[in-house]
Structure 1
Amino acid sequence: MVTDTTWRPREVTPQGAGAEASPAGLLDLLGRLDLAELLTAEKALVFRGFGVTPGTHGSVVDALLPRRLAYVHGNSPRTKVGDNVYTSTEYPAEFVISMHNELSYASSWPTRLLFYCEQAPHTGGATPVVDGALWLRSLDAEVREAFTAGVRYVQNLHDGYGFGKSWQDTFETDDRSAVDAHLAGTGAEWTWTRDGTLRITHLRPATVRHPVTGAEVWFNQADQFHFAGLGEHGAQVREVLPEEELPQSVTFADGRAVPAEYIAHIQETGLKLAVDVDWAAGDLLLIDNVLVAHGRRPFTGRRRVLVAMSG
């Protein structure tokens, strides 16, 4: 297994960048940077010390992500708090969120993610990030080979009552025809059941290549769709629901079950290789969503981190 890495996100501070330590200073700096080239080269950027507040956050987000995307077909629980700005995944503080690339199970995904720390937790709560090419190289050859043909995802999105997210929350609409239009042409197969549940099956690759660098990266959420990757919560849901009715599940491309030990290996490898980005209020983290996967460490106290996405 490959475990050595010296990669870390590039930290940008007022002192290091020769900029004023203020939101205005950050905006001026961004106007002088070739952000696309810098982000591709560095994979992730952390902006610290610019004093970005909730009141100035909007202008900074507009500068960094001028064409933001809605979180349509997203599977994690969030609250929309602004113009395509959301809370980060609302998952109990005591749990780890494993490494993943946003919407890697879908037919399209954001190219950039921007995180903003409005309130840092009392302890913990870092956002770990991992180089996706390193993650891929570090997986056992047996696991990589097993996923060569891709990943088959299944989602059961209820009509308002049940486990997991509803289809209305997932697609930010209560119009079935709008959901049909969104899914058309994505390669997914879907059906509406009698009780209003939307069942989606989607075959997606396990790896992709970055459109600029050509780097091949581990790029799927097999572990987060698999009950074994959800710990006690996954086991509890599986006890009360048959597998075909789980909110989400995953198999190999040919329909064979993915062994639980493969899931554990994938999650443990990603988290072991990850670099933690610790938060202070006002910090921002911009990542290339293909080159870098992210997660969340457990925390205590109130933690409020917002996220926005762009194509």
Structure 2
Amino acid sequence: MTDTQTWTPLEIETECEGGAEELVERVAGMGEEFGKLLVAEKGLVFRGFGVTPEDLDRALDALLPNRLAYVHGNSPRTKVGSNVYTSTEYPREFTISMHNEMSYAHAWPSRLAFYCQVQPGGGGATPVVDAAVWYGSLDAEVREAFAGGVRYVQNLHDGYGLGKSWQDTFETTSREEVEAFLGPTGATWEWKADGGIRVSSVRPATTRHPVTGAEVWFNQSDQWHPAGLGDDTAAALAQILPEDELPQSVTFADGSPIPAEYVAQIRDRGLANAVDVDWRAGDLLLIDNVLLAHGRRPFVGDRRVLVAMSD
């Protein structure tokens, strides 16, 4: 965070290494106060419990009251359990910029839980940022430009191509199920001649937390914009596909382009105001997905962090 921001997630520690059983007992003992604690602290880190992969389901059941599938998720993941997924599978040498999970969608998870199965060899922290602070850090010109919202466009292939297939994205092979999912979301879509689908959605750039009322930066424009990929990657993609054929792209709600300098400011100030959560095997991090955005620092060696979400 900046010098004027001293917030960090609350660390809940134990020296007993009581595993999932101890964690579940602690959470259950708090009752409804646990949810209030999460909202007040924005993020909770559970250290030293030594939760094993075999006991992870029990721990997640306590932290996430209704685990959700990653349907309509745009990042590459592998499903490894009961609505448990690998964190974004992106080359280890790159930073994943700050974002609130599925802020591009009509509905998003209210909580995210991260579990460190394999501690990184170096680096690999999960940075988190107060999304209200992120919003306030942006120039007034940028905040005003985004006031009308953004338009996201996804081009999902039929099993072969850049990005994700529609089958992986919606966890189905049925076009009817895809349309039934998209129908209530306000999105528009068209099936393409090559078997893929183009989905377009207009969403707000900010939202308010249902309990605190805080207005927060809540969109993924910097991750969906070619400028967010870096100059070399963006230039390479531009030689392969026009922007409206990219796996994902974003404009302002009226279809006008978002300036690259806005994208750079959004990305850089989110990361500059973030607090790093370092990992040890068995640790868990629980965040309020509206109050906090998250990302990933580069790492060396092995790193395996799993993620689950709930409403």
Asked if TM exceeds 0.5, the reply is: yes
Does 110-119 or 54-63 show the bigger shift? 54-63
Q: Is 1:280 the counterpart of 2:290 in the alignment?
A: no
- Corresponding residue number in structure 1 for 2:307: 307
| RMSD over equivalenced CA pairs, Å | 1.0
Name the TM-score, length of structure 1 as normaliser: 0.97
Cα deviation, 1:258-293, whole Å, max 9, x if unaligned, reads: 011100000000000000000000000000000000
Distance 2:191 2:4 in 1: 47
CA offsets, 1:106-150, max 9 Å, x none? 000000000000001110000000000000000010000000000
Structure 1 counterpart of 2:28, from 28, 31, 39: 31
CA distance in 2, matches of 1:60, 1:159: 36
- Partner of 2:199 in structure 1? 200
The alignment partner of 1:185 has SS state of: helix
Gaps of 5+ in 2: none
Match for 1:22: what amino acid? G
CA contact under 8 A between 1:219 and 1:290: conserved in structure 2?
Answer: yes
Matched residue, 1:297: 297
1:187 paired with 2:186, answer yes
* Count of aligned pairs: 306
Contact 1:131 1:293 in 2 (8 A): yes
Amino acid at match of 2:25: D
- Of the structure 1 ranges 286-295 and 28-37, higher mean CA displacement relative to structure 2 is found in 28-37
- Partner Cα separation in structure 1 for residue 24 and residue 185 of structure 2: 37
Task: Provide the residue aligned with 1:92 in structure 2.
Answer: 91
Shift of 1:3: 6.3
SS, match of residue 237 in structure 2: helix
Amino acid in structure 2 at the alignment position of 1:85: V
- 8 Å contact from structure 1 (residues 228, 235) kept in 2: no
Task: State yes or no: 1:145 paired with 2:164.
Answer: no
- 2:18 aligned residue (22, 36, 39): 22
Aligned to 1:45: 44
Deviation of the 1:4 alpha carbon: 2.3
* Identity fraction in percent: 66
The answer for the alignment partner of 2:244 in structure 1 is 244
Equivalent position amino acid for 1:310 in 2: S
Distance 1:85 1:235 in 2: 35
Tell me how far apart the structure 2 counterparts of residues 83 and 38 of structure 1 sit (CA, whole Å).
Answer: 26
Cα deviation code 1:190-212 (max 9, x no counterpart): 00011111101100000000000
Give 1:77 deviation, angstroms. 0.3
Question: C-alpha distance in 2, partners of 1:78/1:242?
Answer: 26
TM-score by length of 2: 0.97
Aligned-partner SS, 1:184: helix
Deviation at 1:235, TM superposition (A): 2.9
* Separation of aligned partners in 2, 1:165 and 1:4: 40
Q: Which runs of 4+ in 1 moved over 3 A?
A: none
In 2, distance between residues paired with 1:78 and 1:112?
18
The secondary structure found in structure 1 opposite 2:147 is coil
Deviations 1:46-90 (A, max 9, x none): 000011111111111111113100000000000000000000000
Distance 1:244 1:130 in 2: 31
Amino acid at match of 1:21: E
